Amino acid sequence: MSRAVPRPGRRAAWVARRAGVAAGTAGGLGVLGWGVIMGEAKLARRTIGEPTEHAPDPSGSYGHPRRGRKPLHLAVLGDSSAAGLGCDDAAETPGALFAGMIARDLKRRVILDVQAVTGARAKDLDIQVQRVQRQPVDIAVIMIGANDVTHRTPPPDAARALTRAVGTLQAAGTHVVVGTCPDLGSVAPLMQPLRKLARVRSRQMAQAQTVAVVEQGAIAVSMGDLLGNEFAREPHLWGPDRFHPSAAGYRRLVDALLPSVLQSLGVELPTELVRDSVQDIDVAAAVAALNPGLEVEALPGGEGAASTGPGRLARLRRRLPVVGRGAPAGPTAESDLTAEDLPAEG
């Protein structure tokens, strides 16, 4: 007898509910333990502080116009990690780095539209998607989830909102890459047992996000604890609030996501692949939530017990960061903007 499989589009909520039941109430914390956590949360908020500034906006054109090649439109959506809060220079933000690196590697001009907003949650992606779709978008990068955890958004609700955003973009022909919720248990101002609770909830969120993204045919990349132990070893990768990355930290984040972005645009990097396996989608999501840097992508089908329905199989990949390829392309010179639609020669 075949086992029941949650219908596509609802699996993310099912996985999140199952993870929540398994985790219980933060390992069986009693009233006293919960009081300690609330007190630590208030202390952490005072230490981190509330953001009072906005990230610099890098939106614009990057690279050089080339005859016969239309510019590629890139959108960056999500929260402060996508916006680059803490960067002093727009050129240091994730959007500028993505645009410059894509322009460099594809030798193509890139038009960047950043709609990411500090403090955004998954439900805010609707308006961000609406704004970027004022013109056709070739590739969208989304980084979201941390604020859903801190605001205690149920993972099923956040996953549904992310599903809606990814589905809308994909229906318009946009390739989508999502950096899932980072592990907030790695944030220095958090003490135990709040750190453990933050880690559990972050991983629940990331797991639900991964299933939601993969079911839509997009690519999810696990941010884990922001690229593993590197951030713990290198304090300079954290910004002054010890909650957001520094400019160097954002560069590491972009380096980890770039291979998946390039792959979604048809650029194969076989020499960068260091892990490749096929798993049931739920298993793949759980593994990725525990292992930063893993890319999860749906397979169209397969053989065996795991392939009991469409989208049941997913490919897990770990790629080396794309580094050592030269400096990202800078903003397009104003004098070149009038040449963006040059006709092809010959």
Whether residue 124 lies in the annotated active site: no
Supply the DSSP symbol for 41.
H
Query: What crossing angle do the helices spanning 247-264 and 94-106 adopt, rounded to 10°?
Result: 40
Is there a catalytic annotation at residue 175? no
Q: Which amino acid is at 182?
A: P
Contact 109, 69 (CB under 8 A): yes
Rounded Cα distance, 219 and 46, in Å: 36
Out of 244, 246, 260, 282, pick the active-site residue.
244
Within 60-154, residue ranges assigned H as helices are 80-83, 94-106, 125-132, 146-150
Catalytic status, residue 54: no
Residue 298 near residue 215, CB atoms below 8 Å: yes
Taking the C-alpha atoms of residue 122 and residue 292, their distance in angstroms, rounded to an integer, is 20
Nearest Cα to Cα of residue 208 among 222, 226, 227 = 222
Dig out the tokens for 18 from the structure.
């199952």
Instruction: Give φ, ψ of 117 to 5 degrees.
Output: -130, 135
Q: Which sign does the torsion angle of CA 10, 199, 176, 294 carry?
A: negative
Dist CA 82 CA 336 (whole Å): 28
Start-to-end Cα distance in the chain: 64
Rounded to the nearest angstrom, the gap between the alpha carbon of residue 263 and the centroid of all alpha carbons in its chain is 15
Given 241, 255, 280, 336, the catalytic residue: 241
In the set 80, 81, 186, 260, the catalytic residue is 80
What are the residues facing 331 on neighbouring strands? 62
The catalytic site residues sit at 80, 241, 244
